[in-house]
Amino acid sequence: MSIELHRSGAVATIRIARPEKLNALTLRMYEDLGRAFAEVREDDRVHAVLLTGAGDRAFCVGADMTESIPALAENRFDISAWDPAHLKRVAFYKPIVCAIRGLCIGGGFELMLGTDIRIASTQAVFQLPEPTHGFVPAGGTLVRLVRQIGYADAMEILLTARRFSADEMLAKGVINQAVEPSIVESTALEIAERIASLSPTAIQTIKEAALTLQDYGWDEAFAREAALGQRTFTSDDARRGLAAFASRSAGSGGKKP
């Protein structure tokens, strides 16, 4: 099995584990990755997810050019079959932190765009090479990239098909941090653990809002924001949080910490 899943506390780690092939994704791996996301989505014990690749040479270089891409080219199946792995058309509101070492190319870049916070090695390399092969990055990238960063930056990445450094991706807003290779995963895990320690109701509602409210006009968006907010205010998490705050306040004589 080349997709590994394990849980530690409230954080689930999904690891693409085929380092000898730069973590290229076979047809089976795409299926297993989709199943891993579905499993953590339904597991109430999981509050945050860490997505990474095995080894230092690559996060993921995308679909296996000897199997997955030929299957698409021969029209044996539609790329929509990979929607669960690409987190397309699925309400996945648990936050995902991505740890990127080495090559992040093609489908690997697309998987990264499905995550929320991205920590990369200073030596990481990024590319969407699909136009050089005669096709396009249709695993969510044509929708996500132009919505996540500026139009001109997105088009430079999409249209030139060249390789970009971590510093360039940081400047364009594709990644959050570029850190030394030895601390990429520990930095990403620390962020995931911090997020997992917060109210899962609040955190997942924030992500839901970020992914859905931008599609509405102002008035409808504000109305839906209020409904989402009310859902959190009346949640068990909020009741526990307010009770804990009241207890701390009483213990400090009402003084602010």
The 10s digit of each residue's pLDDT in 221-238 is 999 999 999 999 888 877
Residue 256 domain-assigned (yes or no):
no
The tens digit of pLDDT for each residue in 13-41 reads: 999 999 999 999 999 999 999 999 999 99
Alpha helices in the chain (DSSP H): 27-42, 68-73, 83-86, 107-113, 130-133, 141-148, 151-160, 166-172, 184-196, 200-212, 218-233, 236-251
Domain that holds residue 233: 200-250
User: Which of residues 197, 212, 228 is at a domain's end?
Assistant: 197
> Do 99 and 191 sit in the same domain of this protein?
yes
Domains contained in the chain, number: 2
3-state secondary structure of 180: coil
With the CA atoms of 55, 56, 60 and 65 taken in that order, what torsion angle do they form, in degrees rounded to the nearest 10? -90
Residue 257 domain-assigned (yes or no):
no
Q: Which of 65-69, 82-86, 199-203 has the lowest mean pLDDT?
A: 65-69
Q: How confident is the model at residue 1 (pLDDT cuts 50, 70, 90)?
A: low
Report the CATH number that the domain containing residue 50 is assigned in CATH: 3.90.226.10
Mean pLDDT to the nearest integer, 135-150: 96
> Do 167 and 181 sit in the same domain of this protein?
yes
pTM to 2 decimal places? 0.92
The tens digit of pLDDT for each residue in 199-220 reads: 999 999 999 999 999 989 999 9
pLDDT at 256 over 60: no
